C-alpha cells in the first residue's frame, strides 16, 4: 500500500490486483488437507468466511518430482491418512497407492515410506473437480502450484485463473518456460534465492505483469529471518512487476507490516489446528488468526491515510486551546 503512486494492475479471475487496491489475499491450503477432500472443504469454508480472495493447492507428479531412492525412504505416516486414502481410492476409483504398497501396509501398517506419504497427499482429477465446484459455490478463486510440466497439463483441464511457482520450483527453467507458455497470470515465490537468481527468474518469465512474492522458506520462519525490508526494495527494482509476500512465520503481524510497506499480494498457510499431523501445519495460521488478519487488513488503508501532512479539522480546536504562541512564521 505504501507504493500507492504506482498504477500497474494485474487481473486474476474477477479481481484486479495493484498497489492502489486492497491486498489480494491467498490462503495456502497446500497439503494441509491431509489427503481429505472433506478437510479441504473445511479449509475453503474458513478462507471464504475470513474474506480471502483465493485458496491455493499444490500439484506434483510424484514419480517425476522425486527420485526412487527418495520415495523408498522410511517415513512415518499418520494412520488416519492411510485410512482416508483407502476410502478415497474406493470412492474415486483411481490408484492412490499400488497393490504392492497396499500389501506392505496390510502386513504392517507402520511400514510406511516417503513415497506413501507423497502419493496420499495428492488429489486426482475427480477430487479437483469436486474442489473446483465447491470453490465456485463459495465464490472464492482457487489455483495451484505445479511442480512439473505434467502437473501443468493436469491443471490446464480446469482453466486456472493463475499459476503459482513454489520456491522449490523457482530454479527449474524448463518448468518456468512451460508455465509462461500457458499465458496465464504468474505468481512466483522467491524463497531459497538470492538477487542474482531472482534476476534470472524474471528474465525467463518476463517482468511485465509478473507477481513476485518475497519469501523465506523455513517452516516456521523466525522473526529475524523475515527481512521484510526487501519488499520496498523489490518494488523499486522491478517497476513492471507487482511485489507481495508469502509468509511462513507463526504470528499474524508480519503480513500486516508487509502490506503497510507495499506488498499488494499476501499468501499465508491456513490450518484448522496447528497441532495437526503434517509438515506445514506448524507454520500455518489458524482460523481465529485469519479472522484477525483480515479484519486488520480491512482497516489498514485508514491507518495509512494520505501522503500529506496537514492540520486536521479535529486538531484545530486542540491547537487553539493548547498553543501558547503561534509565531513560527512571523
- 106 conformational bin, left if phi > 0, alpha if psi -120 to 50, beta if neither: alpha
Which one is predicted more confidently, 3 or 179?
A: 179
**What average pLDDT does the segment 272-285 reach?**
93
- What pLDDT score was predicted for residue 260? 97
| Position 251 confidence tier, pLDDT thresholds 50, 70, 90 | confident
Instruction: Flag whether the pTM goes above 0.85.
Output: yes
**What average pLDDT does the segment 223-245 reach?**
98
Q: Is the pLDDT of residue 7 over 70?
A: no
Q: Is the pLDDT of residue 3 over 70?
A: no
- Mean pLDDT over the full length of the chain: 96
pLDDT tens across 203-217, in order?
999 999 999 999 999
Q: Is the pLDDT of residue 6 over 70?
A: no
| Position 280 confidence tier, pLDDT thresholds 50, 70, 90 | very high
- What pLDDT score was predicted for residue 4? 45
Q: Is the pLDDT of residue 9 over 50?
A: yes
pLDDT tens across 78-133, in order?
999 999 999 999 999 999 999 999 999 999 999 999 999 999 999 999 999 999 99
- Residue whose cell numbers read 524448463: 174
Inter-CA distances, 113 with 72, 97, 104, 118, Å: 6, 11, 10, 9
Q: Is the pLDDT of residue 55 over 80?
A: yes
| Position 1 confidence tier, pLDDT thresholds 50, 70, 90 | low
Separation between Cα atoms, residue 320 and residue 127, nearest integer Å: 67
Q: Is the pLDDT of residue 286 over 70?
A: yes
Separation between Cα atoms, residue 39 and residue 31, nearest integer Å: 11
CATH classification for the domain delimited by 9-60+122-304, as one of 1.10.3720.10, 3.60.20.10, 3.40.50.300, 3.20.20.70: 3.20.20.70
**What average pLDDT does the segment 23-44 reach?**
98
Separation between Cα atoms, residue 1 and residue 21, nearest integer Å: 8
Q: In the chain, what are the domain boundaries?
A: 9-60+122-304
- Which secondary-structure segment (H or E) carries 247? strand 242-247
Amino acid at each position: 500500500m505504501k507504493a500507492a503512486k504506482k498504477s500497474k494492475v494485474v487481473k486474476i479471475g474477477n479481481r484486479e490486483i495493484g498497489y492502489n487496491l486492497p491486498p489480494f489475499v491467498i490462503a495456502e491450503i497446500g497439503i494441509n488437507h491431509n489427503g481429505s477432500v472433506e478437510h479441504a472443504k473445511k479449509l475453503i469454508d474458513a478462507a471464504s468466511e475470513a474474506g480471502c480472495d483465493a485458496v491455493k493447492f499444490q500439484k506434483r507428479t510424484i514419480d517425476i518430482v522425486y527420485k526412487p531412492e527418495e520415495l523408498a525412504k522410511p517415513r512415518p505416516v499418520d494412520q488416519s491418512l492411510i485410512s482416508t486414502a483407502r476410502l478415497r481410492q474406493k470412492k474415486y476409483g483411481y490408484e492412490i497407492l499400488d497393490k504392492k504398497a497396499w500389501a506392505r501396509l496390510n502386513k504392517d501398517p507402520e511400514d510406511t515410506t516417503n513415497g506413501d506419504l507423497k502419493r496420499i497427499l495428492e488429489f486426482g482429477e475427480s477430487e479437483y473437480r469436486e474442489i473446483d465446484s465447491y470453490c465456485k459455490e463459495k465464490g472464492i478463486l482457487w489455483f495451484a502450484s505445479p511442480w512439473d510440466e505434467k502437473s501443468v497439463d493436469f491443471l490446464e483441464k480446469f482453466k486456472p485463473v493463475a499459476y503459482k511457482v513454489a520456491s522449490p520450483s523457482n530454479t527449474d527453467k524448463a518448468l518456468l518456460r512451460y508455465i509462461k507458455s500457458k499465458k496465464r497470470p504468474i505468481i512466483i515465490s522467491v524463497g531459497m534465492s538470492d538477487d542474482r537468481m531472482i534476476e534470472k527468474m524474471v528474465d525467463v518469465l518476463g517482468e511485465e505483469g509478473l507477481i513476485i512474492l518475497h519469501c523465506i522458506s523455513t517452516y516456521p520462519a523466525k522473526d529475524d529471518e523475515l527481512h521484510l525490508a526487501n519488499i520496498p526494495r523489490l518494488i523499486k527494482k522491478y517497476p513492471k512487476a507487482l511485489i507481495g509476500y508469502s509468509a511462513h512465520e507463526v504470528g499474524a503481524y508480519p503480513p500486516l507490516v508487509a502490506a503497510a510497506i507495499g506488498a499488494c499480494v499476501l499468501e499465508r498457510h491456513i490450518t484448522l489446528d496447528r497441532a495437526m499431523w503434517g509438515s506445514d501445519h506448524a507454520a500455518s495460521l489458524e482460523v481465529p488468526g485469519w479472522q484477525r488478519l483480515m479484519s486488520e487488513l480491512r482497516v489498514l488503508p485508514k491507518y495509512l491515510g494520505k501522503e500529506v501532512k496537514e492540520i486536521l479539522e479535529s486538531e484545530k480546536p486542540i491547537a487553539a486551546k493548547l498553543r501558547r504562541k503561534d509565531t513560527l512564521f512571523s
